[in-house]
Chain A
């Protein structure tokens, strides 16, 4: 494969599209598949055959278009009409209206803030290409960034571009990506590895799954560029087994990229080789932690080990290993294509670029969005999210999953970036955002729920986490059942302190966060339970007398 051949594939694909009058994209990511998306594709296809439109209209299965709650979604190009909640029996009507006015009852307003306020980098192709066709990705300038780095740039130059862009890890903690790459880059070893963390164990988050299902080649390209930059010729994608569609698409993507020699040996005729393999997770949240993930790839129980040494120095089978999240890798190719300055001009001073969030819970537009860093939570929830369903009152938004916390109304105007979120006691995390309404009780619905999660997902290696989360859970259970006293609450706070400061890995260290944050902002929920406990006791005593 040469640059010219790459260009030729792109041009052929674009020409084929030009020849069509209409291209119909139907979302066939997991969410829409579950709402009859596949049947819809079938009935559109047979409709086209019946009406003999085959030469002028084509239907393509595409990736996620974001508005999952209103699926299945259909995008008609070049007109840019988006239909929502389309049923297989609507196919005929849609085809009949291709040359005339759109079907009003299915049409969605693309000017609405849900679409208008998004800035798409990671999801730029999502919904606009068929994830199972490598030509579609190439038509969107796919693999040109890989070509450029291999043929024109030194590994050091690639790392500089990533550093200058200000990209930070999207897997949670926000570590500067360029810095991590350069640590692996300067490590001396003949064997190095690149690993993509696609474990996405955080419940309520599905950004990574969506990227893998909608645009898998973008992740492969990012990983190959990383391999070139740090000097690794081998990579692994660690995907959770709960994502069968993502795994299937990744397998297909790797196969096709290899066939075109965009992965494999001597890519673009250079000295650079990069081979990729998929490794499946097996349902353990702790395996998202980087050292546990490496143990799991090696075929062992996924238990974390103390760091340092960091994987950048001592990773897979003892070799320097670069681990990044799916979304982090998905940002790489566009940065190379458009330059560090372009990326750095989006977002805030210390948090550059965009972030993909999964909105769920008590919110109208549940689904996936990509917004520039620095946007306020209020904008996300009320403009993009369309607010809460009527007669529900906002109480909090939970971010960062089991390691995060809640943000109450009073902080909604704060900009969304790594530091601001930390300041109010939560974190960016992987991007799950759950809106909680006033009918929820923060003790049992949030604090107890997450502590139960951490308790059952604790790998058991260290005592503070194994025993501490269990005791925290018991105390929260007691509180939520109106049986606790102030002493129990005090004990809970002390325990949080111990677990946070003495646990070995991030799971235990962050487990108290949902408790501490609900205690800080929703103390009244805890007090109400304590009060009820006192009342129960008083009644009991009175009855005795």
Chain B
């Protein structure tokens, strides 16, 4: 096999997290097929995918930026904008829909002043929706900062949000 020494781009800033990312990328293997896994890593580390990260990934994996951008926007799981301090992912799957999750989404929007798939102007809460989080037996369900909460009603929702909003 011919050995090609391809130049790797420098990280955009001297933030140490880029080093962490580089380590993970080396472990995954530098190649086109690692693209999605790499984007997952970027999102794990930085919380979202910004332009400098997309460019860095493109450069390191030797994939055209257009393709990196295409993949990042194709998949719902990737955020191209920073998320709020807290995130609330509400399930809109069938079971949750049948159990009236729409009303809860409206309620969250009102209490936290946020539209679905947006972050509130004060940066406190991001309200996201998901197609089934696999807790259908406990519908309606949502994930509050990583914690799955089932059998949601207006009271629990308000309680959770008030906890976030009043706390800091």
Contacts and interface: CB of A to CB of B under 8 A. Distances in A.
A482 B16 CA distance: 58
Nearest to B97: A449
B136 A205 contact: yes
A301 B137 contact: no
Interface residues of A, number: 53
Contacts of B39: 282
B135 A285 contact: no
A215 B84 CA distance: 36
A98 B152 CA distance: 34
Contacts of B37: 279-280, 299
Nearest to A368: B137
A206 B136 contact: yes
The size bracket of the interface on B is 35 or more
Contacts of A398: 94
Contacts of B31: 299
Interface stretch (B4-12, B67-75, B106-114): B67-75
Given A360-B95, A361-B98, A401-B94, A284 B137 contact: no
Interface in B105-161: 130-139, 141, 147-150
B24 interface: no
Contact of A203 (B34, B76, B78, B132): B132
A299 to B, nearest CB: 4
B138 A283 contact: no
B149 A432 contact: no
Contacts of A68: 135, 137-138
Interface string A169-210: 000000000000000000000000000000011111110010
Interface string A286-309: 000000000011111110000000
B77 A282 contact: yes
A4 B50 CA distance: 54
Given A34-B150, A241-B40, A204 B94 contact: yes
A230 interface: no
B135 A30 contact: yes
A34 B136 contact: no
A283 B76 contact: yes
Contacts of A445: 97-98
A280 B137 contact: no
- Of all A-B residue pairs in the complex, the 4 with the closest CB atoms, nearest first, are A203-B93, A68-B137, A282-B75, A283-B77
Given A31-B150, A282-B76, A450-B94, 12 more contacts: A31-B135, A34-B141, A203-B92, A203-B94, A203-B95, A203-B132, A241-B40, A285-B131, A360-B137, A367-B137, A432-B94, A440-B98
Interface of A: 30-31, 33-35, 68-69, 71, 200-206, 209, 241-243, 279-285, 296-302, 358-362, 366-368, 398, 401, 432, 434, 436, 440, 445, 449-450, 453, 457, 459
14 contacts: A33-B148, A35-B138, A202-B132, A204-B94, A242-B134, A280-B36, A299-B33, A360-B95, A360-B137, A361-B95, A367-B137, A368-B137, A457-B131, A459-B74
